[in-house]
Amino acid sequence: MKRELNRWKKLREKYRGTMKFSDENGTVGAVAMDAHGNIAAATSTGGIPFKLPGRVGDSCLIGCGLYADNKVGGVSATGYGESIIKVMLSRVVCELLEKGLTAQKAAERSVKMLEKKINGRGGVIVLDRKGNVGIFYNTPKMARAYMKEESDAPISSV
C-alpha cells in the first residue's frame, strides 16, 4: 500500500497540470489450462493514472480484455482499453481459433486488425485448446511469459 501511494505521488508530480497519461502501469493477464482441458483467462488492469471519473477499461469486459472457451482456447489482452472494447479483441482471437488459425496466427491477425480498423494499440497472449501459445503486440513493449508442462522454467521476455 505504501509503495502504491509513493508511486501515485511521484506520478502526480510528474503530470501535474496535464492530462498526459502514463504507460508506466502494467496489466497482468493470464491464460491457463488444467489437466482436464478446462481453460480460464484473467486480466487485471494496470489502469491509467488520473483517469477520468467514470472511465471503464476493457479488463472487466468478457470478450474484450479476456475470453475463454474450452472448445477453442483462451485470451488475455492488454493495451488501450477503449480500442480493445470497440473490436472485442479477445473474442475476435477465439473466432479466429474457431476458423482453424494457429494460436500465433490468431494473435497476429487480431492485433493487426485492431490497428488497421481503429488505429488501436494492444497485445494478446493466446492459448489454444491443444496448449499452443501465441503472443503478438503492436505496442512499444509487452512483458510476457509462459510455461508448459514440459518446461523447466518459464519462457519470458520484456
**Catalytic residue flag (residue 18):** no
Q: How far apart are CA 42 and CA 79, in angstroms?
A: 15
Q: How far apart are CA 144 and CA 50, in angstroms?
A: 26
Q: How far apart are CA 132 and CA 130, in angstroms?
A: 6
> What Å distances lie between residue 113 and 41, 105, 123, 126, CA to CA?
21, 12, 11, 16
List the catalytic residue out of 27, 43, 45, 78: 27
Distance of CA 97 to the CA centre of its chain: 17
Close Cβ partners of 24 (under 8 Å, ≥ 6 residues apart): 11, 49
Q: Which three cell numbers stand for residue 147?
A: 510455461
> Which positions are catalytic?
27
